[in-house]
Amino acid sequence: MAKIKTSKLSAGQRTVFLCHGTGCVSNEAFAIRKAFEKSIERLQLTDIKVDFTGCHGFCEQGPIVFVQPEGIFYAHVSLDDVEEIVYSHFRDNKPLERLMYKDPSSSEIVPYFKDINFYKKQRHIVLRNCGRINPERIEDYIATDGYQALQKVLFSMTPHQVIDEVKISGLRGRGGAGFPTATKWQFCHDAPSDKKYLICNADEGDPGAFMDRSMMEGDPHSVIEGMAIAAYATGATEGYIYIRAEYPLAVNRTKFAIKEAEERGFLGKNILGSDFSLKIHIKEGAGAFVCGEETALIASIEGRRGMPSSRPPFPTQSGLWGKPTNINNVKTLATVPLIILHGGKSYSQTGTEKNRGTSIFALTGKINCMGLVEVPMGTKLADIIFDIGGGIPNGKKLKAVQTGGPSGGCLPANMINLPVEYEAFANAGSIMGSGGMVVMDEDTCMVDVARFFISFTQSESCGKCVPCRLGTKQMLNILENICQGRGNITDIDLLQNLAQSIKVSSLCGLGQTAPNPVLTTLSYFRDEYEEHINDRRCRAAVCTGLVTYSIIAEKCPGCGLCIRECPVQAVTSSGKKKPVILDQSKCTKCGACFNICRLGAIAVK
Amino acid sequence: MNYLRLNINSREIKVKPGTTVLQAAQASGTYIPTLCADPDLKPHGGCRLCIVEVKGMRNMPTACTTIVSEDMVVNTETEAVHKERRSVIDLIIADHPMDCLTCIKNQRCELQDVAAYLGITERNLPRTIKQKPIDDSNPFFTFNHNYCILCQRCTRTCDEITGVNAIEIINRGYNSKVSTFGDKPLMESICKSCGECVARCPVAALVAKNSIMPTSKIETTCPYCGVGCMMELGIRNGKIVSVEGSRSSQANNGRLCVKGRYGIADFVQHPERLVQPLLRKSNTLIETSWEEALNIVAQKLSAYSGDQIAVIASAKCTNEDNYIVQKFARSVLGTNNIDHCARL
Ligand SMILES: Cc1cc2nc3c(=O)[nH]c(=O)nc-3n(C[C@H](O)[C@H](O)[C@H](O)COP(=O)(O)O)c2cc1C
Ligand code: SF4
Ligand code: SF4
């Protein structure tokens, strides 16, 4: 048995870590790293290293600079700030307060990473290495016990024992449906065939979700090691990572990681000298939401149009090129090495009875701290929104939380004590999905939200089956009518009937879940629909067709800013220093006047 | 051979393993509405009309994609099933031109059949249909996207049967449509104009140009080449008005190529077509009897023998005719110089 040459992370050495996730990179993080290197070299601060990591999950604070070992966290660093940090922090040993993280709720400066509320209440198990190791250096991964689990299964466990361990852990698939991973592996293991495949689903089509991208960018080796273990357990000898081409950074890091792993003998023929072999390919997807669905994904790899087909046969019976194929999500696979290394029992200590481990959400919307959030299963929504997310900005009230992306639903504020669990979400009409979480405040119109999600699923429907292709079109038309003030009270029943039919008779999960945003808003926010239809009113003043703009005469000094801004000359002057006049018959309700007025003299209803 | 037993609508039937529920139902005379199923194509499961209830199965599976298992209990006619089927047809009708009376497929339209079976007599949902373009580039058939119900019988035919893959669905959602690579007109694509797709379109989206309803049919063999495809000619007023491949023919299983499907009427009914032998008398061709013509040929051929003679046969003759020609050349004329023009 070959021994893995271990190395140590450069603990102790002072290092400036630049976040090199997509968010920070798009804000010049590469150039900032270069500037750090130059500046440090010029000052001959030879004991200071410059390095980079993957995503920290707190992208809105980017570009992020993290200094170790002291653990100081700088936010929003720009190229112009580099000199100042180097002089102050490294030459004069005075960490630079100006760029430290400020808590949005308390406005207090929080110098240390470990004290940031956003991170403090999280539990990083799957994201364990993201933001901590250099994803382009396999030694870093090895130094955190990387590939030990693979070695363990290859030389001391049978495929059965591996599956058993995963079963003990209680791991459920993180791709959305929460199917028990061990059961799926067992099906694939038991399917008789001369050839089997393994697919890592990194398609991540939910709008706004970026946890899988961050995993592939920040810790690709965890996923690769998970794949090797899954392949060993199921009997697969060839694997694919299906990743969208819009993720160039993730694609490149993954390619590089595969190459590194092959060179070290963790992939390829006779892995670590055993008789187990695995070849991993990357397949870049063209970015269709439906290609996240297993059978469509397989069609896409085979070179066909990404369209789902009926199951059974399930991919574990007849998948890629007709061979038994096990498909798992990125996060599911990244969890596997931990389960093997520390035992299923240890993993199962986190979470709740039927929902073990942690879950990762992409927290966004009307919330103070946006980003990737990993919490133990069973955590209450309220804890995520208020403790980690820092609550709702501008003193507004929470109205709803949307989970599960376009397949999920909107949960009202009074359900905020719901635990993060597959069943709890499903019973409430939503789903966990692959982890989008959009927080909505009073300024959000729930009918408009439903319209938005249906317009997404409608335009992403693959077109194969009638209920999804034409049914979502009907629903979208009705919702557009309601939002434009042309709704009819019978529309509500029509929406409900269409939703029910689409759910029951669509071919794949896309269609079967597409009505969820409409159904949940109908059941929790029905009064808003009725208001739109009966009173022609949108209380959040979002639906342009239902909004009226008017001038508050007492506040308007007649400055005329809005006169210039209005594209249809609906606002006119009534004389110097007199309030302007708004002609409702001309107004197209574009809101230009409202947006430009700095005195709050335009009312919107 | 072992058989599987299943129960459809309280009737026991036996089928071979591997049979789908749809095939089992059809074999036992139970009608299940479908729009995307085709006996020549792999199960698709797109139109969702053939959903049935199967005891022990959570959702309503499609009969076309469900393989029969031992002791399966299937119900094809429950209210729940009908409700979903009706809503599928409601959705299609709302997206379909409602001009049946003047539609070329009137009374031959599968959508009409299914709507009638489900008792749908009016439009129940708001119209979603938008005016879509018509591809008139092909000389033999028209592609009117307004009628298309996206059953994909055409695209699957082009893939599974002809192997040409000229057409596939493009775009997504409501904008999905059948088109060619780069969304070009059919004539600018790799389409071979074989019309196999046209033969399978259940509605008036893909229809042969100038086709009218025949009053009678004649089965015959295609005269174009030696394969011997059988075809059914639709006749009206003594003229060929439509052509279909014969499904019972083992040579072509109902298939035809562009020449057989679209080149028959013009050629059979061409005014210059030879129907009698012609004899050149003082430099003009004059119709003559077969007897006279054959006598002259025999007389002239007798002047030569062996390798002085070469024979060219025609690919437009049947295999049997060509067999006779080469036999005649070898054993009567005594030459092996025989070739044909089947390099069409
Ligand atoms: C429309 C649709 C989109 C999906 N998108 C994804 C996706 O982006 N990523 C993913 O892992 N699973 C996605 N899934 C779920 C997958 O089909 C599949 O169940 C999952 O990858 C299995 O992995 P797991 O067992 O690890 O959960 C999607 C499913 C549907 C129906
Ligand atoms: S449900 Fe929608 S996405 Fe799924 S097969 Fe049907 S049309 Fe395609
Ligand atoms: S053209 Fe005809 S066969 Fe092709 S998808 Fe449309 S309706 Fe079906």
The answer on A155 and A227 residing in a single domain is: yes
- pLDDT value at position B337? 94
The answer on A344 and A375 residing in a single domain is: no
Q: Identify whether A182 is part of a domain.
A: yes
Q: Which residue of B has its CA nearest to A501?
A: B84
Of A117, A147, A179, which residue constitutes the final position of a domain?
Answer: A117
The answer on A451 and A436 residing in a single domain is: no
Of A302, A329, A348, which residue constitutes the final position of a domain?
Answer: A348
Closest CA to B48 of B9, B90, B6: B90
Find the Cα–Cα–Cα–Cα dihedral A10, A11, A16, A17, rounded to 10°: 80
Q: Which of B49, B51, B87 to mutate to test the interface with A (most CBs of A within 10 A)?
A: B87
Is A307 within 8 Å of chain B by CB? yes
The pLDDT of residue B344 is above 60: no
Q: Where does the pLDDT of residue B275 fall: very low under 50, low under 70, confident under 90, or very high at 90 and above?
A: confident
**Distance from Cα A297 to the centre of ligand 1, integer Å:** 9
Kindly list the residues from chain A whose CB atom is less than 8 angstroms away from the CB atom of residue B94: 470, 474
- pLDDT value at position A10? 59
Pairing verdict, β A371-376 and A279-285: unpaired
Q: Which domains does chain B have, with CATH numbers?
A: 4-117 (3.10.20.740), 129-209 (3.30.70.20), 212-273 (2.20.25.90), 278-343 (no CATH)
The pLDDT of residue B258 is above 60: yes
- pLDDT value at position A468? 98
Q: Identify whether A390 is part of a domain.
A: yes
What's the token pair of residue A206? 């939910």
Amino acid letter at A413? A
The answer on A411 and A328 residing in a single domain is: no
- pLDDT value at position A8? 62
The lowest-confidence range among A10-24, B11-25, B319-333 is: A10-24
Residue B16 and residue B2: Cα distance in Å, rounded? Answer: 7
The answer on A143 and A47 residing in a single domain is: no
Residues 6+ apart with CB under 8 A from A173: A179, A180, A181, A184, A328, A329, A332
- CA-based nearest distance B65→chain A, Å: 7
Q: How far apart are the first and last CA of chain B?
A: 46
Q: Write the residue in A309, A460, A505 that is nearest to B84 by C-beta.
A: A505
Of A441, A473, A499, which residue constitutes the final position of a domain?
Answer: A441
Residue B218 and residue A213: Cα distance in Å, rounded? Answer: 64
- pLDDT value at position A177? 87
- A69 prior amide bond cis, ω within 30: yes
Q: Identify whether A541 is part of a domain.
A: no
Running along chain A, 605 residues long, what does each successive block of 10 average in pLDDT? 60 88 94 95 92 94 93 95 94 94 91 93 95 96 96 97 98 94 98 97 90 96 98 98 96 98 97 97 94 97 95 94 98 98 96 95 94 96 95 95 93 96 94 89 96 97 97 98 95 97 96 97 97 94 88 92 93 91 90 90 88
The pLDDT of B59-77, averaged and rounded, is 96
Pairing verdict, β A409-412 and A571-572: unpaired
The answer on A309 and A167 residing in a single domain is: yes
- A315 prior amide bond cis, ω within 30: no
Kindly list the residues from chain A whose CB atom is less than 8 angstroms away from the CB atom of residue B95: 470, 473
What's A56's domain CATH number? 3.40.30.10
3-class SS string, B288-318: CCHHHHHHHHHHHHCCCCHHHCCEEECCCCC
Q: Identify whether A469 is part of a domain.
A: yes
Residue B99 and residue A507: Cα distance in Å, rounded? Answer: 30
Q: Which of B36, B53, B91, B114 to mutate to test the interface with A (most CBs of A within 10 A)?
A: B91
The answer on A253 and A181 residing in a single domain is: yes
Note down the domain range covering A368: 358-441
Q: Which residue's alpha carbon is at the smallest distance from atom 29 of ligand 1? A: A293
- pLDDT value at position A3? 60
**Max avg pLDDT among A97-111, A335-349, B225-239, B256-270:** A335-349
Query: Are B174 and A477 in contact (CB < 8 Å)?
Result: no
Q: Identify whether A540 is part of a domain.
A: no
Residue B6 and residue B52: Cα distance in Å, rounded? Answer: 14
Ligand 1 site, residue A421, Cβ cutoff 6 A:
no
- pLDDT value at position A2? 54
Residue A478 and residue A13: Cα distance in Å, rounded? Answer: 62
Question: What's the total number of domains in chain A?
Answer: 5
The pLDDT of B11-28, averaged and rounded, is 96
Of A294, A407, A503, best ligand 1 pocket probe by most atoms within 8 Å of the beta carbon: A294
Contact at 8 Å (CB) between A423 and A369? no
What's A475's domain CATH number? 1.20.1440.230
- Condensed to tens digits (0 to 9), the pLDDT of residues B93-151 reads 999 999 999 999 999 999 999 999 999 999 999 999 889 999 999 999 999 999 999 99
What's A204's domain CATH number? 3.40.50.11540
The answer on A387 and A312 residing in a single domain is: no
Q: Which residue of A has its CA nearest to B176?
A: A463
The pLDDT of residue B91 is above 90: yes
The pLDDT of B26-41, averaged and rounded, is 96
Determine the longest span between alpha carbons in chain A, in angstroms.
Answer: 91
Q: Identify whether A543 is part of a domain.
A: no
The DSSP output letter for A467 is: I
Handedness of CA A286, A328, A249, A436 (dihedral sign): positive
Ligand 1 site, residue A528, Cβ cutoff 6 A:
no
Contact at 8 Å (CB) between B62 and B50? yes
- Angle, helices A159-169 vs A220-234, to 10°: value is 120
3-state class (DSSP) for residue A16: strand
Closest CA to A483 of A519, A454, A441, A504: A454
The lowest-confidence range among A95-104, A215-224, B297-306, B309-318 is: B309-318
- Condensed to tens digits (0 to 9), the pLDDT of residues B162-218 reads 999 999 999 999 999 999 999 999 999 999 999 999 999 999 999 999 888 899 999
Residue A102 and residue A313: Cα distance in Å, rounded? Answer: 53
Q: Identify whether A131 is part of a domain.
A: no
Enumerate residues lining ligand 2, CB below 6 A: A 290, 308, 461-465, 468-469, 506-508, 510-511
Kindly list the residues from chain A whose CB atom is less than 8 angstroms away from the CB atom of residue B168: 305
pTM of the complete model: 0.91
- Angle, helices A330-342 vs A159-169, to 10°: value is 100
Query: Are A505 and B87 in contact (CB < 8 Å)?
Result: yes
Query: Are B46 and A465 in contact (CB < 8 Å)?
Result: yes
- pLDDT value at position A7? 60
- pLDDT value at position A122? 95
The answer on A246 and A305 residing in a single domain is: yes
- pLDDT value at position A215? 96
Residue in the structure block whose two tokens are 């993957």: A54
- pLDDT value at position A435? 81
- pLDDT value at position B125? 96
The answer on A307 and A213 residing in a single domain is: yes
Residue B27 and residue B13: Cα distance in Å, rounded? Answer: 9
Phi-psi region of B54 (alpha: psi -120 to 50; beta: other; left: phi over 0): beta
Average pLDDT, chain B: 94
- pLDDT value at position A381? 96
The answer on A147 and A107 residing in a single domain is: no
The answer on A195 and A144 residing in a single domain is: yes
Q: Identify whether A133 is part of a domain.
A: no
